[in-house]
Amino acid sequence: MYKPEHIKRPILAETVLKKKVLLNILEAKVNSQKGELIVSAPLEGEALEDLIRSFEAEGVAVEKLPRIVEIDQEKCTSCGACISPCPVSALSFSSDWSLLLDEKRCVGCRVCVDACPFRAIKMA
């Protein structure tokens, strides 16, 4: 979460160069008052905490998202409409034809949110 004073500096680009980390921007909402980015980083454990501290040191608020999409099991019928449109194959069937979500693969593109006929998928 970026504040107005951050608008003058390319903090994300500086962080990528400084930490040599390949960040993937999944969603960006930036205007003159504030900015909010959803970013995925191929890091875990201490390396991830270090990256978060680096942003926080610049005054950027960071929140770790535990998952990107959520599936409402009450609404889901395991119809499969979400599976083939997913560009990263994050959705699949288990052996009993139940719907499975691989959270690590999800990049938050939202195609499944619209594809679900029962509106059982939403952004977390």
Partner 1 sequence: MPEVRGSETLRKYEEINEKIGRGEATVLTAEEFVAAVESKGLERAAREVDVVTTGTFGAMCSSGAFLNFGHSDPPIKMWHCWLNDVPAYKGLAAVDAYIGATAASESRGFEYGGGHVIEDLVSGREIRLRADAYGTDCYPRRYIETTLTIEDLNQAVLLNPRNAYERYNAATNSTSRTIYTYMGTLLPNYGNVTFSGSGQLSPLHKDMGFETIGVGTRIFLGGGTGYVIGEGTQHCPQKRFGTLMVKGNLKQMSGRYLRGATFHRYGPTMYVGLGLPIPIINENVARTAALSDSEIFTDLIDYGVPSRERPTVKQVSYRELKSGKVLIGDEEVHSSPLSSLKMAKEVAEVLRDMILEKRFFLNRPAELLPAEMEFKPLLEKSHATVAVGR
Can you read off the two tokens belonging to residue 34? 């504030």
Tell the smallest beta-carbon distance from residue 2 to partner 1 (Å): 31
Give the Cβ contact number of residue 121 at 10 Å. Answer: 23
Tell the smallest beta-carbon distance from residue 37 to partner 1 (Å): 25
Residue 27 Cα to chain centre, angstroms: 8
Tell the smallest beta-carbon distance from residue 120 to partner 1 (Å): 10
Residue with smaller CB distance to partner 1, 67 or 118: 118
Residue with smaller CB distance to partner 1, 79 or 107: 79
Binding site for partner 1 (CB under 8 A): 77-85, 87, 89, 92-93, 96-98, 111, 114-115, 117-119
Tell the smallest beta-carbon distance from residue 78 to partner 1 (Å): 4
Residue with smaller CB distance to partner 1, 32 or 94: 94
